[in-house]
Structure formats: structure tokens, C-alpha cells
Copies of this chain bind each other. A is one copy, B any other.
Amino acid sequence: MSLAEARADASTGGDIAAEMTAIGRAAKTAAHRLANATTKEKNAALKAMASAIRRNAETILADNARDVADAKEAGTTGSFIDRLTLDPARVEAMATGIEEIAALADPVGTVLAAWERPNGLHIERVRTPLGVIGVIYESRPNVTADAGALCLKAGNAAILRGGSDSFRSSGAIHACLVEGLESAGLPAEAIQIVPTRDRAAVGYMLAGLRGAIDVIVPRGGKSLVARVQSEARVPVFAHLEGVNHIYVDRDADLEMAKAIVLNAKMRRTGVCGAVETLLVDAKVADTHLRPLIVALKDAGCLVRGDERSRTVAPGVTPATEGDWSTEYLDAVISVKVVDGIKEALQHIERYGSHHTDAIVTNDQAAADRFLAKVDSAIVLHNASTQFADGGEFGMGAEIGIATGKMHARGPVGVEQLTSFKYRVRGTGQVRP
């Protein structure tokens, strides 16, 4: 059913309720078509979306400028405005990003496993789309393009709800996505954007739009994810905060530790893969901790430490209990001296968020123990926590990093946006 038909058909009271119900129905209908769309069709649509974005760059930038002006007038500033603001380079990056998604392998139809039973039944486990994915994000217009393209590649219909401050920008980008869909003969309703700034719309999405939404992907800060998790009545690919640790073991190479800690903290302080707490083995506090702290401070990082670390290096402010569970997302790090890997593991278990944690050591046994015992989506040995990224994992674009244990954990790329089913072929078998 087309969106228009569905709308006409919507029977619930209240304009938004009716509107959202209609969007849900149209998405479900589009999802059935997409589930059987060919790779060729999906890639044609993606490539057409990229060209449409390039062709309409001026419109997108003009609409974005109006969003930015309103936000500034409303008194918003700083990183919020930076995330909201588009420029020609960022628009081009969106187009390129979509082309990269087109270049990814199509996960749908992949046979994950196949086996034959003694009775001759041939069983296959095959990837299928999830269905309808609801994406709720903040005022970052580019997410409209990323999320829409990723969902489509995996054969899913998407219902996008961006931050209200990016309403015009997201709308302009969405128009380009629809242009791409239609030029490839795919339903325009395959990627819909919630056409209202009204926050009530989010509530309807979290309620699942009467069974129309299969999974909700929240993409944004702590408060957004918290609301989604507490209100959602459908599965959520939640991305909790990244309270990430690096444990510098007694057998760590100092230069390697320095390079990794500096990169993990300072390469980009606002990403979820940034390290927030540095744990250093007491055995090397004298030799390693001081140079590490000096390097961090030289790089412009604020260091908050426990008592033992403060005796080692000057200019370390006292860390409070709250620091150990804080995701700074800023040039700040908490430092603690621990008595070996055992205390490090206990600290991570108690204060960590099961996102990404790393150990620096040349002791293989210690590394194996750390990789085995730390229950986080990503555990690293001798590498920077900032590798926590779908692209860096070779998965292509990601819609986020999941910290739950169900279905999707770690980077959520096209494969994680699929489900599966069992295909069984027989020759008349009946069960004894």
C-alpha cells in the first residue's frame, strides 16, 4: 500500500498517531518489496542517491544554513552547532559514504551454514533482512544519509527521526534518498523521515508503530539512549557510553604504551572509542606512569589520578569516585595505579561499560588472560581503543557500536542489520 493509501487508511485518532501509523504500514509494505530486491536494484538506488546529493548540494546547504541560523538564534553553541553545520566537503563526504555502502557485499541471501541430515534433509541458514528499522538520532544531518543507505543495503525499510534542529537539512537530504529509490524503481517509502518536529512522534516509534518496527537504533548521547531503552517496547540496538580502559601491564613497552595511550585519548576525544581511564601496574609506576602522564599533559590533556599516581607525577588533580565511571568525551583522563592484572580486571568489571578495553604488554599470557576475562564488545592487545569502528574493522560504514549482548554487539554494519531463516529442502521426508 502506498503512503497515501495507508494514510487514508489510518484509523487511529489524533493527527500524529494517524500519521505515524500510516508511516509504519507503508514501511512494512516497502520492506516486503525490499526483502526481494536484487543487489543490482539496491546498488543502483544508492548510486543515484549519491548523485542526487551532489546535484542538490546547494539546496541542502541552503536548508542547513537556515537550521544553523535558527539554532544560533536559540542560543545553542559549540560542538552542537559544529555537528549540525554542513559545508561542501561534508556534503561530498555523504555522497562518497553512500557510494562506499553501494560497494559493500550484499549480506542478504548469504548462506551462513548448510548441512545435510542423515534422513537427507538439506538445511541452510540464510541471511534475511530484519524488516523495518527505526533510527532515532540527534541533530547530525549526515546520519540521515548514512542510516538510510545502510538500512537499504541490508534490504530493510527505514523510518528516520533526526533531531528537530536539523529538520530542514535532514528533509533536503531525505529528498535525495527518495529520488535515488524512485530512479531505481524501488518504493519511496523504503526510507521515510518523520515529517514533524513533534517529540510525540518518538513515543510512537518506541511503541513500535503497532508491530511495524522490528528494531530501534538510537544514535546519540547518553540521555537519548537512556530514554529509548526505558521506553522502547521493541528490541533496541543500544549504544551505551564508552567508559574505556587501557591497562599498562608490568611487561609493557613504554614507547608503545605512550603511543597507544596518546592516540586512544587525544586523536579524537569526542568518539565513543576514546579511552577514559588509564590503569598502570604498580610494578612499573615509577618507570612508565610518570612519562605517560607527562606526555598526556604535554598533549593538553587534563589528568585526574588516585593517590598513588599523584605521588608519582606532579600536576595531577585528585580523582573522585565519580571519575572512574565517567565518559569525559573530552581532553581529560583518569589514572589509577593497580596491583597487577587482577586488580585491573576487577576495576574494569566494576566501572567499565563493556564497550572497548585494551591491554599493553609483551607478556602473551597476560594478554590472553585480559582478552578472555574482560567482558566487553571489543578487547584489544597492543592497539589503540580508537580502532573501535566499523570502518577500521573492515565492515564498511557502521550505524553505531552496540554494547548489548544480543544480536548486534560491537560495530553495527550491514551484516548486523540482518536476520536469518532456515531453508529446508526435502524429498518427501516425514518425521518418525
Contact = CB atoms under 8 A, between A and B. Distances in A.
Interface of A: 32, 35-36, 115, 117, 121, 123, 128, 130-131, 214-215, 235, 253, 256, 259-260, 262-264, 267, 349, 367, 371-373, 375-384, 386-387, 389, 392-394, 404-407, 409-410, 419-431
Nearest to A374: B421
A108 B123 CA distance: 23
A151 B275 CA distance: 34
Contact of A121 (B215, B383, B431): B383
Contacts of A392: 117, 121, 431
A89 B405 CA distance: 38
A127 to B, nearest CB: 11
Given A384-B431, A405-B214, A372 B420 contact: no
Contacts of A383: 121, 424-430
A383 B122 CA distance: 10
A35 B431 contact: no
A421 B430 CA distance: 39
B409 A421 contact: yes
A382 B426 contact: yes
Which of A35, A123, A404 lies at the interface centre, i.e. has the most chain B CB atoms within 10 A of its CB?
A: A123
A384 B429 contact: yes
Given A428-B259, A431-B263, A421 B215 contact: no
A380 B424 contact: yes
Given A393-B123, A394-B115, A430 B130 contact: no
A267 B431 contact: yes
Contacts of A260: 428, 430
B214 A421 contact: no
Contacts of A131: 405
A387 B424 contact: yes
A215 B409 CA distance: 15
A392 B430 CA distance: 11
A131 to B, nearest CB: 6
A266 to B, nearest CB: 10
A123 B392 CA distance: 10
Nearest to A354: B421
B386 A431 contact: yes
28 contacts: A32-B349, A36-B372, A36-B373, A121-B387, A121-B392, A123-B394, A128-B375, A130-B405, A214-B406, A235-B235, A262-B430, A263-B431, A267-B431, A367-B425, A377-B421, A378-B421, A379-B421, A379-B422, A379-B423, A379-B424, A380-B424, A381-B424, A382-B427, A382-B428, A383-B424, A406-B406, A409-B419, A410-B421
A377 B267 CA distance: 44
Contacts of A420: 409
A215 B406 contact: yes
A210 to B, nearest CB: 14
A358 B413 CA distance: 32
Contacts of A382: 425-429
